[in-house]
Amino acid sequence: MSPRVLAYLRLLRLPTLFTALADIFLGFLLTHSTLISDEGPNPLPSFLMLCVASAGLYLSGMVFNDYFDRLIDAQERPERPIPSGAISPVAALRLAAGLMLVGLGSAAVVGPLSLGIAVAVCVSILAYDGGLKKTWLGPLAMGTCRSGNVLLGASAVGSLFEFVSTSRWPIAVCLGVYIVGVTIFARQEATTSRRTVLAGAAGVINSGVIGLAMFVNSNGLMEHRRPALGILAMILFTLDRRLVVAIAQPSPQHVQVAVKVLLLSLVMLDATLIYAFNGRVELAMATVALLIPAVGLSKLIAMT
């Protein structure tokens, strides 16, 4: 692989893209029973366009993040593509804008509701990357992006009423809370983090997962509730073990590993929720399979 291609892959944080696609799987399968149907309109084209829309928006956010952080990164992370000179700021800005337009255009193909949600996600991305990142509103903006991505996946429905009644809004909200916690946890990952901040972030992360468990317990498919709750408990136990290590040793190495695990665990959370609310085991496993490229690429490209 050429150094220039690798630089662009690092700029895009490609491994994390698969966590965004998992959100589309989740949102779509909360409002559709399957991805392919021989009866009535085939949902697959809409699903694929939403995947493209999510990918465009998510990757644009990654590039905009490094573009706006290029001066800080020159001091804290000079090895990143822009401060190292591997990619110019102008090229990065053009790439980010192009990806965002691809995301908006793909959402527009699905329908006006999808476009409206995509526009809201764009506003959250630009607000976070462009000014809110260093403020207390930054984590909320990032959580809004993640909630919006789940709702984008749920947006390929016939009407606004159907969207509101079937999209399972509490799931999107709880996943947004989870990401608020992850964002707070990762805020000082380039330097030694403060234990109090990490502990507070861990509490927010736990509240997001517990909120998901409560919603599964009250609204999930009856025959799938207990297995799904068991899986969520195992995910939370695994996360908390990693969080405790990072809080005890708040060095960049331990915190960044914890953040990587937190991000990859989104795929497992999404797959578990698909199992709990859609019921199709094969669709949940197809979502889990997104971990394969994510983990594989993460060995080559940093996720944070």
pLDDT of res. 1:
66
Tens digit of pLDDT for each residue in 65-99? 999 999 888 888 899 999 999 999 999 999 999 99
Distance CA 167, CA 32 (A): 10
Q: Are 155 and 114 in contact (CB under 8 A)?
A: yes
Name the helix (H) or strand (E) containing 73. helix 70-76
Q: Which has more pLDDT, 134 or 90?
A: 90
pLDDT of res. 226:
96
Of 140, 173, 139, 180, which Cα lies nearest the Cα of 154?
A: 173
Average pLDDT over residues 247-276: 95
pLDDT of res. 38:
65
Whole-model pTM: value is 0.94
pLDDT of res. 40:
67
pLDDT of res. 176:
97
> Sign (positive/negative) of CA torsion 100, 105, 108, 110?
negative
Residue 39, both tokens: 């009866």
- For residue 41, give every residue at least 6 positions away whose Cβ sits within 8 Å of its Cβ, in sequence order, or none: none
Mean residue pLDDT of the chain comes to: 93
Count of C-beta atoms within a 10 Å radius of residue 304:
15
Q: Residue 221 phi/psi, 5° resolution? A: -60, 130
Q: Residue 78 phi/psi, 5° resolution? A: -65, -15
